[in-house]
Amino acid sequence: ELAGAVNPWQTAWNRVLWGMALTSITLNFWCLNYILPTAGILLSLLGFRALRRENRWLGACFAITVFRVILNFPVLILGTTIWRSIYAASPVQSILTAGNVILQLILFFCLWRGLRSVQEAAGLPPHARAAGGLLAWYIIMCLLAAVQYVGLIIPLAMLILYLLMLRSLCKLSNELKEAGYAIRAAAARVSDRVLVLFLLAILAVGCVC
C-alpha cells in the first residue's frame, strides 16, 4: 500500500538489518558467540514477521527465519548438556551446519526478490543490488571457510564490504520512505514482546534442565 496507511516499514526493516549484522558477528568471549546470533535471529524473526504479507518473497523470508529458530534453539540447549561432545562429533552437526548455510543462501535470494517487488510497488526502478550482493558475499565466505583460509586481509575486506552493503540497504529503506511507500503490519494475535519472552523462556528452561 502507499502513503496514508500506518507504516511500520522502518522499524521492521531496521530489525532485519540489525538481525543480519548480529548473526554475522562472531566474538568468542563472554558467550557472545551464542548471545549475539540468538539476538540477531530473534530480531530478524520480528522484522520479517511484520513484513510477511507484503509479498510472497518476504513471506518466504519469514518462513525461513522461523525454520532457523526451530533448528538453532535445540542446538543451543543441547550445547549445555553432557551430550554436547557426542553431538559435536556426530554427522548431525555437519548436516545442520550445511542446512543453515543453504537456508541463509535462500534467505538472501528471497530478500533480494522481495525488495525488488517492494520497489516496484513504490514506483521505483527495481534493483536492490546490495541484497543481491549479500548472496554473492555469503557464497564467497562459504568458499573461504571450505578452503580453511587463515589470512586476515580478505576477511577484513569482506567485513568492510558487508558493512557497506548493510549501509546501502539502510539507504534503500530511506528511498522507499521518501517515495511515500507504506505498509500495514501483518496482523498478529501475539505481540512481539510476548513472542520474544516465550522463546527466551523455552531457551532458558531447556538450558537449565
Q: How far is CA 126 from CA 64, 109, 110, 121, 131, in A?
A: 23, 15, 14, 9, 12
Q: What is the predicted pLDDT for the residue at 28?
A: 67
Residue type for 69, please? V
Tell me which residue has cell 537449565. Answer: 208
Q: What is the predicted pLDDT for the residue at 62?
A: 92
Q: What is the predicted pLDDT for the residue at 179?
A: 62
**pTM, to two decimals:** 0.79
Using DSSP's 3-state secondary structure scheme, residue 160 falls into helix
Residue type for 62, please? F
For the chain, which residues score pLDDT lower than 70?
A: 1-8, 25-28, 31, 88, 128, 178-188
Dihedral of CA 143/144/147/153: which sign? positive
Q: What angle do CA 74, 145, 157 make, to 5 degrees?
A: 115
